[in-house]
Amino acid sequence: ATYDALFAAGRTMATKCKGDTTMVGRLPAIETFGTYGVPLMDAQGAKFTFNDAKGVELVNHYKDLYKAGGMTEDTLNKLQTGELDAFKAGRIGWLPGSSYTLKDLKATAPKVAATVAISPQITNDKPNMYIESLAVNAKSKNTATAVAFAKFATNKENQLAFSQKAAIFPSAAGALDDPYFTKADGTPETTLRLESAKAVSDAVVYWPAAFSSKSGDYLREQIALAILGKKDVQAALDEAVKYADGKLPKK
């Protein structure tokens, strides 16, 4: 599904539900800009660029949805934990999540879990993914041990075994061809795992390494001000870009 479909559904729910239930329960984050098709940085990685016309267009969609009653003011203050609680209570219709989310829903909101439909990630471009990184200091005094550990952590068999215990996806070549990631059995858990596995080979890490958590918080604050009409959308994104650029390493 694309963002056009998401916003259309949001407008429909705003009309039909009169604010009791909304489609969207979160503000766009930096990775949302990426999946919407906004260039996040210039080709040299020297400055952020998500304040272009496409970025403004994205925030305006959220602003229009808020005006139509498709987002609550409470949503502007919520983090993902608040969004999950609202979904469990049946107050929002769309929740980006993972196998951990589904497991939590089945344990704490079984009636909601029984009605959940699983779909591919919403994106206008390639899907987003988050990575777990493992690094060893190049100046380590235990080089042999470090190399042995790297081989242990990255070989196909160990990655496949670990991914089945930790609900992550292996990066070793060929590991995603295992039946665990390709064979359906009709259960929601497997459906979610197979949909996610299909996306991994084409996915992009949209959160730039140089974009700090503080920059993410500041972006959220600026977007909230813009949606509330307290700040021009372009000015809000310009401020967020200026802040993020200020956090880049000085050359």
- Residue 23 one-letter amino acid: M
Q: How far apart are CA 61 and CA 78, in angstroms?
A: 19
Among all chains, which residue has been given the structure tokens 């215990």? 165
Q: How far apart are CA 200 and CA 226, in angstroms?
A: 33
For residues 29 and 216, the answer to whether their CB atoms sit within 8 Å is yes
What's the pLDDT at 81?
64
- Sorted by sequence, the CB contacts under 8 Å of residue 23 that are 6+ apart come out as 6, 9, 10, 12, 13, 14, 65, 70, 92, 93, 94
Of 79, 109, 101, 104, nearest in space to 192 by CA = 101
Beta-bridge partner residues of 4: none
What's the pLDDT at 167?
82
Q: Give one DSSP letter per residue of 151-208, joined into a string.
A: HHHHSHHHHHHHHHHHT----STTGGGSGGGT---S-HHHHHHHHHHHHHTT-B--S-
What's the pLDDT at 166?
86
Render each residue's pLDDT in the chain as its tens digit; 251 residues: 899 999 999 999 999 998 889 999 999 999 999 999 999 999 999 999 999 999 999 999 999 999 999 998 888 876 656 889 999 999 999 999 888 899 999 999 999 999 999 989 999 999 999 988 888 888 889 989 988 998 999 999 999 999 998 888 999 999 999 999 999 999 999 999 999 999 898 899 999 999 999 999 999 999 999 999 999 999 999 999 999 999 998 87
Longest dimension (CA), the chain: 65
Among all chains, which residue has been given the structure tokens 């990426």? 34
How many CB atoms neighbour CB 76 within 10 A? 18
What's the pLDDT at 78?
64
Surface-to-core class of residue 65, CB atoms within 10 Å of its CB (0-12 exposed, 13-18 middle, 19+ buried)? buried
Of 128, 141, 119, 133, nearest in space to 200 by CA = 128
Q: What are the sequence ranges of the domains in the chain? A: 3-128+206-246, 143-200
- Sorted by sequence, the CB contacts under 8 Å of residue 115 that are 6+ apart come out as none
Q: How far apart are CA 11 and CA 9, in angstroms?
A: 5
> Quick one: CA dihedral 196, 198, 201, 204, positive or negative?
negative
Is 3-128+206-246 CATH 3.40.50.410?
no
Q: How far apart are CA 17 and CA 70, in angstroms?
A: 9
